[in-house]
Structure 1
Amino acid sequence: MWAHVLNALLGIWLMASAAILGYSDAKTITDNEHIAGPIIASFAIISWWEATRVVRLYNVPVGLWLLLAPWVLGFDNTTATVNSMLVGALVTGLSFVKGKIKDVYGGGWSAVWKSDTLHAREARKQPRTNLK
């Protein structure tokens, strides 16, 4: 979970970094960060819960975009370029950290083809009662 908390903080940092680092007059750069930051923070916060942990992977394309954005959008500020690349690399890397898994929820469509599903295992654990 620590990686997801860090990703949420990186998303918040991205939203504030233009004002803090002094390039808030560059509209293209700040617009990019004001769009990517909340997306990163939202996906990271959603992935805090075990049942929605897979949402952490939605940050991978956003992190990769931050790595490419300085060249695609033509950033003319070195500080903004370094910030975007650093945050992008961290977000992408931290998005691959799974975290602890305690329970299994559902199984999705793959459970349809399994012969030993979760509910079948749970049913075998329960004592059988004879109903007469």
Structure 2
Amino acid sequence: MWAQIINAVLGIWLMASAAILGYSDVKIITDNEHIVGPIVASFAIISWWEATRVVRLYNVLPGLWLLLAPWVLGYDNGLATTNSMVAGALITGLSFVKGKVEETYGGGWSAIWKSDTLHAREARKQPRTDLEG
């Protein structure tokens, strides 16, 4: 979860960085960061919980976009380029950190086609008292 907390902070940083670093007058850069920042923060916060941990991978695409944005959008500010590249690399890298899994929740979608799922094994362990007369 620590990696997703850092990603959430990076998303918030992206929203504020143009004003803090002094390139808020360049509209294309600030617009990009104001769009990507909330997306990164939202996906990171959603992935804090174990059941929604896979959402962390959704931040790979915005992270890669931040790596490409200076060239695609034609950034003319070196500080903005560096900020985008560092944030993009960190977001992409931290998105692959899984986190500790403490519980299982029924096996997910794969439980549909597997014959020996967690809930089936647990059901076999329980005594069948409901049918006894």
Q: TM-score range by the shorter chain?
A: over 0.9
Please name the residue that 1:131 is paired with: 132
Report the Cα offset of residue 24 of structure 1: 0.3
The aligned length equals: 132
| Superposed counterparts of 1:92-131, under 5 Å | 92-129=92-129, 131=132
Please name the residue that 1:89 is paired with: 89
Q: Which amino acid aligns with 1:113?
A: W
Matches of 2:106 and 2:32, distance apart in 1: 37
Matches of 1:50 and 1:13, distance apart in 2: 25
Matches of 2:98 and 2:109, distance apart in 1: 21
Matched, 1:57 2:47: no
Q: Which runs of 5 or more structure 2 residues have no equivalent in the other structure?
A: none
Matches of 1:12 and 1:5, distance apart in 2: 11
Matches of 2:61 and 2:105, distance apart in 1: 25
Matches of 1:124 and 1:100, distance apart in 2: 28
What CA deviation, in whole Å up to 9, does each residue of 1:63-117 have, x standing for no partner? 0000000000000000000000000000000000010111112433321211111
Runs of 4 or more consecutive aligned structure 1 residues displaced over 2 Å after TM superposition: 106-109, 127-130
The alignment's C-alpha RMSD in Å is: 1.1
Please name the residue that 1:6 is paired with: 6
Matches of 1:82 and 1:106, distance apart in 2: 44
Please name the residue that 2:15 is paired with: 15
Matches of 2:20 and 2:127, distance apart in 1: 63
Report the Cα offset of residue 122 of structure 1: 1.1
Please name the residue that 2:42 is paired with: 42
Contact map agreement 2:64 2:89 (CA 8 A) in 1: yes
TM (norm. structure 2) is 0.95
TM (norm. structure 1) is 0.96
Work out the percentage of aligned pairs sharing the same amino acid.
81
| Superposed counterparts of 1:14-33, under 5 Å | 14-33=14-33
Matched, 1:70 2:70: yes
What CA deviation, in whole Å up to 9, does each residue of 1:12-51 have, x standing for no partner? 0000000000000000000000000000000000000000
